[in-house]
Chains A and B, each alone.
Chain A
Amino acid sequence: MESQRSFSAIVLHAHLPYVRHPEHRRFNEELWLFEAITETYLPLISMLERLAEDGLRHCLTLSLSPTLLTMLEDPLLKARYQEHLQRLGALAREESRRLRKEAGFGPVAHFYRERIEAIRKQWEAHNGDLISAFSTLRAQGVAELITSAATHAYLPLLRADPASIRAQLQLGALTFRRFFGVPAEGVWLPECGYFPGLEDEIARAGFRYFFVDSHGIEQATPRPRDGVTAPLVCENGVAVFGRDPLSSRLVWSREEGYPGDPLYRDFYRDIGFERPLDALHPFLLDGQSRIHTGLKYHRITGPADDKLPYQPEIAARRAELHAEDFLARIAHAAREGKARGDGSPSIRVSLYDAELFGHWWFEGPLWLEAVIRRQMLERKEPALVTPSVYLQGVRRLQCATPAASSWGDGGYNAFWLNPDTDWMYPLLHQAGRQMQTLAKRFGQEKPDSLAGRALRQAGRSLLLAQASDWAFLQRTGTAGSYADRQVRAHLQRFDYLRACLEDQALDERRLQALETMDHIFPEFDPAIFAEPSLA
């Protein structure tokens, strides 16, 4: 039998919640963005630029969430990142000097010194404008850019508030268009959270495709004929791709995933928790609270606590081997896989968080580049494409409705709805209903009037409260108290603005303060909350 042509797509989702605190000189949680820029976004841009120079195209699909885009553009955060890089560089230089005579840790300290210097130069070469860098890469065709919901709300749990779902998706589309000048073809649903009927709002926002976890396809109605490697089309024409379980397991699995290899860098052994406070003093925000610096000298080694020094070159070679292994397994699966009944090529879609590559899995960008280069330059099948390219060639798919699903632990909503987080949903739903009332009552106010500004800021507060990150962080217990404070703060701000509007007692100075602190979505139009729902 003639071998079946097949494709693959690698999709990275880059997202961080909106964390910006101009009311403080420095703020710990802003480090999330700085770490991600240093360890993930700049290395990804470098990789894509190298691929573009070599003439490779449609290598990767990259989802950039609206909150992340907003923060990457923000002048305050850019300036703070610049300062962060200077402090990090100074720390790396001091460490390199301190360890220069040590055979074990000296080379890795030197490695970090040079790496951070290269990152600094790359940042300055781009003038701190990563949005333009991504835009150039999109225009060159090396990456397809898509986006996500406005503040990354977990949409299945907003089902009681259709206006908010509509606002999340449409504002996400608008924000992307503002940054890149073109609409996004696809949307990364936050946490791949889907429920039947959501495709109507997806289409209304102008998106053409989205992704669900494997069981979202496998449990679709009617039953998919060709499995998870055959995308489906909903009745309204929106295509849906399913996450490939094999490529997920090879990277994400705690037991067998590549990132757990003993030669790879250990994430948790950071000098921020090991060096004396006075040695770290300039880097720490308050001189006392220990934080991750990104300077980690040990390799995973094994389950025990005694870890050996990290050896970057050996780890890099291991990443190359893992890339070969990945491609071999994917190719084998493609050959053994079931052919599509209509003769169309199948597609394996590998979905990952972008921050996995470089931040959590330090060698991830090396692995990713090796996978892409080998697959494309050696013409390995399944051939690498982007979802839009695939849909240009395969225009007709099996019509089915995916199953309600997510890629969270358990596959449904439990990760975001549980005793740790359930307290917020009654408040979010109530605020959503109130926003609709406010939009209908005050929607005719001029945008630059006090009432018009307050209405818009209330909408921003509501959207910021809806971020799925707050429930996620509370559930995992990492930064749970910060997440708790953030969702409460946004709900309190919304309620304050609601009361001011209803009582017609607006304090312009306070409103200005809120506009300064939650400085996001200038294009937000509260009329979206006043629209009737789709039937």
Chain B
Amino acid sequence: MSEDAGQMMGQEELQRVAKELSARPLPQSRGTWLQVLPVDPRTLYAYWHIDRRDWHEGRDSLGSNADQAVLALKFRDSTGTAAFDVILEERCGKRYITLWHSGRDYRVELGFAGKRTFQVLAACENVSTPGVESTPEDEHFQLAPVLESAPSVAARESASAWFEEAALEKLAPRTEEEEVVDFPLSMHRAPIRDALTFLDLSGGAASEISAPTASEGNETPSLCRPEANVPSENFPQIDVDQLALYSHNARRFRQDANRVDELPPLPGTFPTSAIVNNIQPIPMPSGNTAAASPLAAGKERACFSARLVDFSSSSDNSSAWPHRRMLR
């Protein structure tokens, strides 16, 4: 598009071109086709055009039945229980069709209807009308994850901070009676029943980790991918029984940054330096990244919301254990 076009063309010339083009006839329809659009749950709108050659060939193919054949739209619904014809008069035209039922899918054909034949000239598939009756319940009700924002989106980081800030600033503060539960990360093996998120509250960049889903073999995935120089037994395992205690409500708690000093001392058995160095994002099939074990790879919904945990912001590894405090 020419950047200088605006300066170079005067109004008279633009008006002349606009006027010349507006005098052109509207484009003519071509070919043989049928289009059907839903108007509302019980009304369809069909419009069609039949090329003269196709018209004559279609009629000729009926042979001796041509005289008795009529142009029609044939409607077949996906349930297989309803089929009806609408007789047409014009080679090219439009029609509104009132239906008996809502919420159906139709295949519609345009053609010549004889006594026992229908010579199809054009068809329109998958014409759906919305339903107005109640839809069936989901017997296997399940929650599913929402798409993550692209990692490069600054707005996602802002939104994350906004929600935390919103939760801190705008929701009424929790009462003193609510129980504070600390949980360490080292633990037993058990299948994960639900994917949960919890926060790294050690300071630095706020991050979230989701517990990966377990395989059918009940192996407990670890949060860290083993690296060559660190023995795998030194990596923390997730006690999913304990994690299962924390529901979505737990996600709403946000530790007051001023209370970090109140955190109890770290257990001495965790190889925190290994944690700092060895949590890696791995690509997931959906394009999301996750800090997860190889067991999670291939799981479509595993670690859908995991991000790289930034432990490196802590200068002293021995006290940098991301101690998590949750309310329930």
> Taking beta carbons and an 8 Å cutoff, which residues of A are in contact with B?
5, 22-25, 57-58, 76, 141, 144, 156-157, 159-160, 182-183, 185, 195-196, 203, 206, 208-209, 219-223, 225, 233, 235-239, 341-345, 376, 379, 383-386, 388-400, 403-405, 410-414, 417-418, 422, 425-427, 429-431, 453, 456-457, 485, 488-489, 491-493, 495-496, 509-510, 512-517, 519, 522
Contacts and interface: CB of A to CB of B under 8 A. Distances in A.
B53 interface: no
B143 A342 contact: yes
A425 B135 CA distance: 31
Contacts of B137: 222-223, 225
A183 B22 contact: no
Contact of A515 (B5, B146, B153, B158): B5
B22 A5 contact: no
B228 interface: no
Given A393-B167, A453-B2, 9 more contacts: A23-B14, A185-B159, A203-B147, A385-B163, A389-B162, A396-B144, A422-B47, A425-B47, A491-B26
Contacts of B218: none
20 contacts: A24-B11, A219-B135, A223-B134, A225-B137, A237-B145, A239-B146, A383-B166, A383-B171, A388-B156, A388-B159, A388-B162, A397-B146, A405-B130, A413-B40, A414-B39, A492-B22, A495-B24, A513-B9, A516-B5, A519-B1
Interface string B110-128: 0000000000000000001
A58 to B, nearest CB: 5
A524 to B, nearest CB: 9
B45 A422 contact: yes
A396 B138 contact: no
A516 B14 contact: yes
Given A225-B141, A417-B39, A512-B2, A343 B162 contact: no
B293 to A, nearest CB: 21
Contact of A25 (B11, B26, B35): B11
Contact of A395 (B138, B141, B145, B158): B145
Given A182-B154, A489-B21, A491-B27, A389 B166 contact: yes
Interface string B26-66: 11011000010111110101010100000000000000000
Which 9 A-B residue pairings sit nearest by Cβ, starting from the closest? A222-B138, A23-B14, A237-B147, A396-B143, A399-B144, A513-B17, A404-B130, A412-B40, A392-B163
A328 to B, nearest CB: 18
Nearest to B43: A414
A392 B159 contact: yes
B302 to A, nearest CB: 13
Contacts of B155: 144, 182-183, 185, 388
B248 interface: yes
A411 B162 CA distance: 34
B26 A413 contact: no
Given A383-B166, A493-B21, A413 B37 contact: yes
Nearest to A447: B1
Contacts of A405: 130
Contacts, number: 247
Interface of B: 1-2, 5-6, 8-9, 11, 13-15, 17-18, 21-22, 24, 26-27, 29-30, 35, 37-41, 43, 45, 47, 49, 94, 128-132, 134-138, 141-150, 153-156, 158-160, 162-163, 165-167, 170-172, 195, 197, 247-249, 251-252, 286, 304-305
B149 A185 contact: yes
Contacts of B160: 392
Contacts of B145: 233, 237, 395-396
Nearest to B3: A522
Contact of B14 (A209, A383, A422, A513): A513
Contacts of A429: 35
Contact of B162 (A141, A159, A493, A515): A141
A397 B153 contact: no
A427 B26 contact: yes
B171 A344 contact: no
B26 A488 contact: yes
A403 B40 CA distance: 12
Nearest to A22: B14
B38 A430 contact: no
B22 A512 contact: no
Contact of B40 (A397, A400, A414, A513): A414
A5 B144 contact: no
Nearest to A456: B1
Given A398-B143, A427-B26, A57 B165 contact: yes
B294 to A, nearest CB: 23
A395 B305 contact: yes
Contacts of B248: 342-344, 394, 396
B30 to A, nearest CB: 7
Given A160-B35, A403-B130, A489-B21, A385 B158 contact: no
Contact of B22 (A144, A206, A488): A488
A394 B39 CA distance: 35
A384 B166 CA distance: 9
Given A492-B26, A510-B17, A426 B47 contact: yes
Contacts of A496: 21, 24
Contacts of B252: 5, 345, 393
B21 A395 contact: no
Contact of B150 (A183, A404, A427): A183
B146 to A, nearest CB: 5
Nearest to A508: B2
